Structure 1
Amino acid sequence: MADTTIGTAAQLRDPNYTPPLAKAVPLGIQHVLAMFVSNVTPAIIVCGAAGFGFGSNSPDFPQMIYMIQMSMFFAGLATLIQTIGLGPVGAKLPIVQGTSFAFIPVMIPLVAGKGVDAIAVLMGGVFVGGLFHAFLGFFIKKIRFALPPLVTGLVVTMIGLALVKVGIQYAAGGVPAIGTPEYGSAQNWFVAMVVIVVTLGLKFFTRGMISVSAVLIGLLVGYAVAFMMGMVNFGNVGNAASFALPNPLHFGMEFTFAAILGFCLMGFVSAVETVGDVSGITKGGAGREATDTEIQGATFADGIGTAVSGLFGALPNTSFSQNVGLIAMTGVMSRHVVTIGGIFLILCGLVPKIGAIISTVPIEVLGGGVIVMFGMVVAAGVSMLSDVSWNRRNMVIFAIALSLGLGLQLEPGALQYLPSTLKVLATSGILPAALIAIVLNLVLPEELADEATEEVSGGMAGHGHGSLPHDDHV
């Protein structure tokens, strides 16, 4: 229930209303706490995939700290673009921006084992993909027809499925530990399970902000347990600077066809996700539909925020769905509250010591957190698919897209004769699944919708819209 001491009902639904500062600041920080872990995790995953050393003596370690730092800074900057606006850029709504998980399945094949030099390729893709994303703002409302729940649900499910392996590897000790006696040890799994159990307990047996911050609190408890077990190393925190500004082209910038195409295609998916988040905010916080101007401004801000991030060594930004739910929970629609949260993120991004402290979190602790987060991504996709009418046409589209997308990701060697660029894109899993689903949805005739499904489902026909079968004789 909304706190009526913050303002009247009409004020709470007004994006331009500013609550008293004593209320606005805690509410703004609350938004940051809800998204903080999800925002910095992609940087750690990408650095780990590239082969950065996680020890304080690794020469690549400062580069990971820098990327974590930029994840915070540019999430805050992109949030301010959304809430304050720059002309037509920005929805001027309480939209929290953060580093997107959706791009990870595309980024990992581009950098896998290639070290810090491969990050320049990512930055080229982030920059061009961001510009393409912003360009979509001019006609985003007109292309939503190509992405019904069948396609978007499949895409979100595939993103989660592509990431669950990362969570298991982290919980077992991290990619560098694979093949060593420590990998998969009881100690590693104990720490990861502490995070999972605490997170689930808080999520389902508490309410309010504690429930919303369950993953963050679970990580803190796991971190404390790991510290008591001697798994935390603070060696690099003292060496980190107290203040540092973003460095233009920190990792350099290299343009490759694979990276550009991958980021542009995922930018298309991200743009539609943002439309959903904007609609969710206006419905949940103000009880109305989002205007075309708000949706267009949000898409512009998404893309421009991502492009600017690429110039300074950060990863793609998008609207964060968990904060949409937080607005509905608090009942406070004020964009100025979220602006305060964005400023807090920027301040964190200017202090490398914060990034150094985050980097002391043992990989096993992070593994427990991401197992929960990535599993929730899959669950979100399944929830979206429950709105699909499961006739033969839709079942065929889903089956082929899932089989080829997931299959090629699990067995990349099946495409060993493809040119390297196409192989990277095809084995990401998410891109082939999305393309197949979009194309089939556009070309297969709707007439198939009325035909029986038993011949392709082995008798296990769906009942549409997630409904259960019923017995007419009861």
Structure 2
Amino acid sequence: MSTQHSNDLIYSLDSKPGVLESGFAALQHVLASFIGIITPTLIIGGVLGLGEHVPYLISMALMVSGVGTIIQAKRPLGMGAGMICVQGTSFAFLSSVLAAGFIAKGQGGGPEEILSLIFGVCMLGAFIEIFLSQFIHKLKRVITPLVTGIVITIIGASLIKVGMTDLAGGFKAKDFGAPANLMLGGIVLVSIIALNRSSNSWIRLSSIVIGLVIGMIIAGFMGKVSFAHLGSLSAISLPVPFKYGFSFDWSAFLPIALIYMITAIESTGDITANCMVSKQPIAGEEYISRVRGGVFADGFNSFLAAVFNTFPNTTFSQNNGVIQLTGVASKHVALYIGGILILLGLFPMIGGVLQQIPKPVLGGATLVMFGTVAAAGIKIIASEHLDRRKLLIMAVAFGMGLGVTMTPGLLDQLPKMVQSVFGSPITTGGLAAIILSLVLPEESIDE
């Protein structure tokens, strides 16, 4: 398939390409999204010490992403955007999910209790996005581009510590900061940068995957990779609803709820961009119907994710670039994408192999990915006309949000629930931005 250079699509939204064309286009989408789907699970599993559960969790992440992608394309009962909206595990929830996990861990819970709480609060939180999908145009008056940009920037900035910790060897690693770890993570980081600057579109698209493979090969020669445990894994992973049970905690729920509000707006932007590259209207009833259905499906797919033991889903923006690159916008291709992801999810061996990616290798890649999240937030902010009012909102939101992470012990003398909720930079910074946007009217501060 040749790279698309014109504004015309090779296959439009309702076209049905042949098996070869559909399969090839689908592989490009899977390649673009695969690392994004599995990386949050690898990070959560590593930080919270979920060990033997990680291969199963990765399998479920792939399966639910596949099912969610098909739902977005097929629009059952009007749910879905009716386009190639590849679903994947959302990085936006990472900090809040980790915070929920630490709450369960602090109460003496093991891996199953940790996952029970995480999936419980994520499942109930999904109803917030489902509800908001029907009023998405009104929500934009509260969750403005400025608020969205601030929150996404804080998410990226707060996660950079996770990436850098992995690059140095991982949380509480005995060889933390060892020159070998820093060198290995640095090689992956430099490889991804070099590949991303390539003039070849396919190499750019695969830069993180190739960077991880390079890192794994070098780590293998260094004796940091072992697949000895793979023989103990089951041959097939089958989804089991509520495998880890269900529990709830308000202090874990509130930060998750706020992120569901933000991702509803973020998904609106991704679906709008998808409409543009797929040559669909970006105004009028059809457009509103697609956005409502797409955000509704995002919420439902996150509900489905929690029921089947994985983390909240969202529409991946990088796949809009694949549509533009290939010239294939056919929603028929989404069925192939979903099928490939479900097939990959059936085999826990894949999760077992991915679990063996050494922390420095994963850190070198996630450092770029988290930095990209922060940069995306800055880009949204930069698109705004920044008057004195908006700069004040930014200053307070960033100061409070990042301040709580930089000052350990700041909230130690407050009730546990306050510590859990406002110890999250996303909740503190996001609420500060929302409240100030509402109480500081446009005309309250002169230019």
Q: TM-score, normalised by structure 1?
A: 0.89
Match of 1:24 among 22, 25, 28: 22
Separation in 1, partners of 2:186, 2:131 = 44
How far did residue 198 of structure 1 move? 1.0
- 1:132-180 deviation line (CA, Å, top 9, x unaligned): 2111111112211222221111111001011000011101110030xx3
| Percent of aligned positions that are identical | 35
Match of 2:412 among 402, 413, 416: 416
- What corresponds to 1:100 in structure 2? 90
Separation in 1, partners of 2:137, 2:386 = 26
Shifted more, 126-135 versus 106-115: the winner is: 106-115
The answer to whether the Cα contact below 8 Å between 2:56 and 2:237 also exists between their aligned partners in 1 is: no
Match of 1:45 among 22, 43, 46: 43
Separation in 2, partners of 1:412, 1:100 = 27
The one-letter code of the counterpart of 2:239 is P
The one-letter code of the counterpart of 1:98 is G
Written as runs of structure 1 = structure 2, the 5 A alignment for 1:294-309 is: 294-309=290-305
Q: 1:4 to 1:197 in 2, by over 3 A?
A: closer
Written as runs of structure 1 = structure 2, the 5 A alignment for 1:44-123 is: 44-52=42-50, 61-112=51-102, 113-114=105-106, 115-116=110-111, 117-123=113-119
Written as runs of structure 1 = structure 2, the 5 A alignment for 1:124-135 is: 124-135=120-131
How far did residue 9 of structure 1 move? 4.1
The answer to whether the Cα contact below 8 Å between 2:272 and 2:282 also exists between their aligned partners in 1 is: yes
The answer to whether the Cα contact below 8 Å between 1:394 and 1:449 also exists between their aligned partners in 2 is: no
Of structures 1 and 2, the one with the larger relative CO (CA 8 A, separation 6+) is 2
Shifted more, 239-248 versus 301-310: the winner is: 239-248
How far did residue 412 of structure 1 move? 4.2
The one-letter code of the counterpart of 2:277 is G
Q: 1:206 to 1:221 in 2, by over 3 A?
A: farther
Point out the structure with max Rg over C-alpha.
Answer: 1
Q: 1:213 to 1:4 in 2, by over 3 A?
A: closer
Written as runs of structure 1 = structure 2, the 5 A alignment for 1:53-452 is: 61-112=51-102, 113-114=105-106, 115-116=110-111, 117-177=113-173, 180=174, 182-286=175-279, 288-289=281-282, 291-451=287-447
Separation in 2, partners of 1:216, 1:23 = 23
The answer to whether the Cα contact below 8 Å between 1:106 and 1:425 also exists between their aligned partners in 2 is: no
- 1:315-357 deviation line (CA, Å, top 9, x unaligned): 0000011112222222221112122111111111111111111
Shifted more, 411-420 versus 75-84: the winner is: 411-420
Separation in 1, partners of 2:143, 2:76 = 29
- 1:352-391 deviation line (CA, Å, top 9, x unaligned): 1111111111111101100110111111111111112221
The one-letter code of the counterpart of 1:350 is L
Separation in 1, partners of 2:445, 2:2 = 44
The answer to whether the Cα contact below 8 Å between 1:97 and 1:317 also exists between their aligned partners in 2 is: yes
- What CA RMSD, in Å, does the superposition of the two structures yield over aligned residues? 1.9
Q: TM-score, normalised by structure 2?
A: 0.94
Q: 1:239 to 1:382 in 2, by over 3 A?
A: same
How far did residue 423 of structure 1 move? 1.3
Give SS of 1:37's match.
Answer: helix
- Structure 1 gaps of 5+ residues are 53-60, 452-474
Q: 1:388 to 1:9 in 2, by over 3 A?
A: closer
Separation in 1, partners of 2:220, 2:3 = 38
How far did residue 254 of structure 1 move? 0.2
Shifted more, 241-250 versus 398-407: the winner is: 241-250
Give SS of 2:88's match.
Answer: strand
Q: Number of aligned pairs?
A: 438
The answer to whether the Cα contact below 8 Å between 1:154 and 1:381 also exists between their aligned partners in 2 is: yes
- Structure 2 gaps of 5+ residues are none
How far did residue 16 of structure 1 move? 1.7
